Amino acid sequence: MNNCIFCKIVRDEIPAKKIHEDDDIIAFNDINPAAPVHILLIPKQHIASLSETEELHRDLLGKMLLSIPKLARDQGCTDGYRTIINTGHVGGQEVFHLHIHIIGGKERLPAMIHQS
């Protein structure tokens, strides 16, 4: 996808602080971190959102999830972290290339969603 910002990171057309890269996935630091550790984990393949995934993505999705504990641990999240996948308009998704947020630090994170 020519104009997708995360595809540009995959192609090294814009810089990112990459933490992990292999044939299928990349993890890099979020440009606007919400906590001391804020990693984005993406597939190299352009998939717009979790809603666009299908059976053929089973192995890729499994690989992404299974890579998270080591990624988080290597960034110092030894006592837990939060994983978030924002999906679509209601989910607050801003970049339409599937990504998993991995968020953590030393302090317990605040409750995620409040309903007033």
Task: Give which of Zn ion, ligand AMP, none residue 97 binds (C-beta under 5 to 8 Å, depending on kind).
Answer: Zn ion
With CA atoms as reference, report the closest residue to 21 among 10, 31, 32: 10
CA distance 105 to 116: 27
Q: Could you report how far apart the first and last alpha carbons of the chain are, in Å?
A: 39
**Between 31 and 109, whose beta carbon lies closer to ligand AMP?**
31
Least Cβ distance, residue 31 to ligand AMP (angstroms): 4
Q: Does 7 bind Zn ion (CB under 5 A)?
A: yes
**Between 3 and 32, whose beta carbon lies closer to ligand AMP?**
32
**Between 51 and 78, whose beta carbon lies closer to Zn ion?**
51
CA distance 111 to 103: 13
CA distance 15 to 30: 12
Q: Does 60 bind Zn ion (CB under 5 A)?
A: no
Residues 87-116 touching Zn ion, rule: CB under 5 A, are 97
**3-class DSSP state of 5:** helix
Contact residues for ligand AMP (CB under 6 A)?
Answer: 5, 14, 16, 30-32, 40, 86, 92-95
Tokens representing residue 18 in the block: 């990459």
Q: Which residues are catalytic?
A: 99
Contact residues toward Zn ion (CB under 5 A) are 1, 4, 6-7, 46, 97
